[in-house]
């Protein structure tokens, strides 16, 4: 990584979250192999969960209404996953903020009768500037604690406390940790200018990464989340740049005459893919991030563009119009064994390989408009996920459960997120003139 000459951003957000195992009731049952929610089941029902306001402990006043804030933010985070049905507080039989906190004292019958299968409770305490909070997850049916964590930090750390425990809840109930520690990078357009931005998975915390007053497009995260590569017209040619993902220092990586289009990093971070037109013909190249060496992968007089790695780094999907229309092809990582993947329709582009390895998402022209589709890596099982307006630039979440994309309905563009089966669509960002590309970050571990 040092080969880049880009300094790691040392002014990181200092998090002093002391996370401890929580042994309030003797021993927390080890995470059982029980799967409460089978995400993969086509008949998955939303899982009913109740979240009570947190109980304030100690003498210090409840600054900023933390009691309700914890419960509401946790509900919001879980709701976004699309897996939960959050039970309305008005249905609760227990008085708010007064409830018991141990499985011995909780009246589980009061919760099962309103349909809750899981129950989240918690308490918090201020001491000076420090905030400590206990988060507890109970199995209502079995009447026992199934996850518990204590977090200690400053008040501004409370959002991360919520997101961390949301990850714990998801892990306990589904076996997966979710995407609570991820961001989405995109190119946002205002007039004739576009810049690279990042935003948290839940639509908060918009951050401008570039300010070139020109066209900056095609953001791609490094696998450690520290850098973003992108293409910018800053110097009157579409050149490749790298920047700290939090913004700041940047460096030009390649400036061949013609296109220098930013492509994805390999899963091991040792190389990245790019498209160059330096020989008057768009070809896909692989750039070694360790020594800066470059290798050409495609040799075809047609357009070859938009490369995407398989999660094991062994294969590359890309777009070529070698058969007359843009279609998706797959080749080995050394350029050998090229085979065509898509045959339906005459415009299939923007492939991205699922982190789970089994599906490729892409955009396809259907009745003159573009729609998001997925397909097995052997070309079978083609599924169209969107149908309203124009939908482009798909990108997978690092757990392969969600897809971010740009949706334009009646000329208004938005960044949307949906579950990988096309359900649970929500707006991530809107209000800019246009959005060009989305790229979901790897897990950032609340850095």
Partner 1 sequence: MRKSSLLLLMLTIVLSFALVFAGCAKKAAVKETAEEKQAVAEKKAAAETEEEKAAKEKAMKEAELREQERQKAEREKAEKEKAEAAAAAAPAAVSPIAGFEYIYFDFDKYNIKPEARETLKKVADWLNAKENSDYNLVIEGNCDERGTVEYNLALGERRAQSAMKYLANLGVAKDRMSTISYGKERPVDPGHNEEAWAKNRNDHFVVVKRKE
- Nearer to partner 1 by Cβ, of 87 and 436: the residue is 436
- Nearer to partner 1 by Cβ, of 139 and 392: the residue is 392
- Nearer to partner 1 by Cβ, of 118 and 393: the residue is 393
**For the purposes of burial, counting CB atoms within 10 Å of the CB of 128, is it exposed (0-12), middle (13-18) or buried (19 or more)?**
exposed
Nearest approach in angstroms of CB 200 to partner 1 is 23
Cα-based torsion angle of the residue sequence 291, 293, 298, 299 in order, rounded to the nearest 10 degrees: -170
Nearest approach in angstroms of CB 194 to partner 1 is 7
Helix (H) / strand (E) containing 166: helix 158-174
The torsion angles phi and psi of 110, rounded to 5 degrees, stand at: -65, -25
Nearest approach in angstroms of CB 318 to partner 1 is 10
Nearest approach in angstroms of CB 11 to partner 1 is 9
CB–CB of 287/241 below 8 Å? Answer: no
Residues 6+ apart with CB under 8 A from 127: 58, 60
The torsion angles phi and psi of 68, rounded to 5 degrees, stand at: -80, -35
> CB 168: neighbour CB atoms within 10 A?
21
- Nearer to partner 1 by Cβ, of 160 and 424: the residue is 160
Nearest approach in angstroms of CB 157 to partner 1 is 15
Burial 309-337 (b: 16+ CB within 10 A, else e): bbbeeebbbbbbbbeeebbbbbbebebee
Residues 6+ apart with CB under 8 A from 285: 273, 274, 275, 276, 294, 295, 296, 297
- Nearer to partner 1 by Cβ, of 107 and 257: the residue is 257
Question: Can you read off the two tokens belonging to residue 187?
Answer: 């190119």
Nearest approach in angstroms of CB 277 to partner 1 is 5
- Nearer to partner 1 by Cβ, of 72 and 321: the residue is 321
Q: Which residues are at the interface with partner 1 (CB under 8 A)?
A: 10, 12, 14, 187, 189, 191-192, 194, 215, 217-218, 233, 236-238, 257-259, 261, 275, 277, 280, 282, 303, 305-306, 319, 321, 325-326, 347, 349-350, 363, 365, 370, 390, 392-393, 411, 436-437
- Nearer to partner 1 by Cβ, of 16 and 337: the residue is 16
Nearest approach in angstroms of CB 225 to partner 1 is 17
Burial 341-369 (b: 16+ CB within 10 A, else e): bbeebebbbbbbbbbeeebbbbbbbbeee
Query: What separation, in Å, do the N-terminal and C-terminal C-alpha atoms of the chain show?
Result: 18
Nearest approach in angstroms of CB 269 to partner 1 is 21
- Nearer to partner 1 by Cβ, of 60 and 365: the residue is 365
């Amino acid at each position: 990584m040092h080969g880049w000459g880009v300094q790691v951003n040392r002014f990181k957000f200092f998090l002093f979250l002391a996370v401890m195992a929580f042994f309030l009731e003797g021993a927390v049952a080890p995470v059982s192999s029980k799967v409460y929610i089978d995400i993969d089941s086509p008949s998955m029902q939303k899982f009913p969960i109740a979240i009570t306001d947190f109980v304030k402990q100690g003498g210090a006043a409840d600054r900023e209404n933390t009691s309700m804030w914890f419960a509401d933010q946790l509900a919001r985070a879980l709701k976004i996953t699309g897996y939960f049905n959050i039970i309305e507080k008005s249905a609760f039989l227990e008085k708010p903020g007064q409830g018991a906190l141990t499985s011995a004292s909780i009246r589980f019958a009061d919760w099962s009768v309103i349909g809750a299968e899981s129950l989240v409770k918690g308490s918090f305490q201020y001491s000076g500037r420090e905030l400590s909070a206990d988060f507890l997850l109970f199995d209502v049916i079995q009447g026992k604690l199934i996850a518990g964590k204590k977090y200690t930090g400053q008040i501004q750390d409370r959002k991360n406390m919520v997101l961390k425990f949301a990850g714990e809840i998801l892990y306990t109930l589904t076996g997966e940790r979710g995407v609570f520690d991820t961001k989405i990078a995109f190119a946002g357009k205002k007039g004739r200018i576009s810049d690279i931005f990042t935003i948290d998975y839940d639509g908060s915390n918009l951050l401008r990464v570039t300010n070139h007053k020109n066209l900056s497009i095609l953001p791609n995260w490094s696998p450690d989340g520290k850098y973003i590569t992108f293409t910018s017209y800053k110097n009157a040619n579409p050149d490749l740049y790298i920047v700290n993902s939090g913004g700041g220092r940047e460096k030009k990586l390649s400036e061949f005459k013609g296109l220098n289009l930013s492509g994805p990093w390999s899963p091991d971070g040792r190389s990245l893919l790019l498209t160059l037109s330096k020989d008057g013909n768009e070809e896909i190249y692989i750039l070694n991030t360790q020594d800066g060496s470059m290798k050409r992968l495609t040799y075809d007089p047609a357009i070859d563009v938009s490369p995407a790695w398989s999660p094991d780094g062994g294969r590359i999907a890309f777009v070529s119009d070698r058969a007359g229309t843009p279609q998706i092809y797959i080749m080995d990582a050394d350029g050998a064994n090229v085979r065509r993947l898509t045959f339906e329709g005459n415009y299939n582009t923007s492939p991205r390989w699922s982190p789970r390895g089994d599906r490729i998402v892409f955009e396809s022209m259907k009745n003159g408009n573009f729609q998001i589709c997925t397909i097995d890596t052997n070309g079978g099982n083609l599924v169209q996920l969107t149908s309203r307006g124009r939908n482009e630039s798909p990108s997978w979440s690092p757990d392969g459960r969600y897809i971010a994309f740009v949706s334009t309905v009646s000329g208004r563009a938005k960044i949307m997120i949906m579950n990988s089966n096309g359900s649970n669509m929500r707006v991530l960002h809107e209000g800019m003139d246009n959005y060009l590309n989305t790229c979901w970050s790897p897990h950032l571990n609340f850095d």
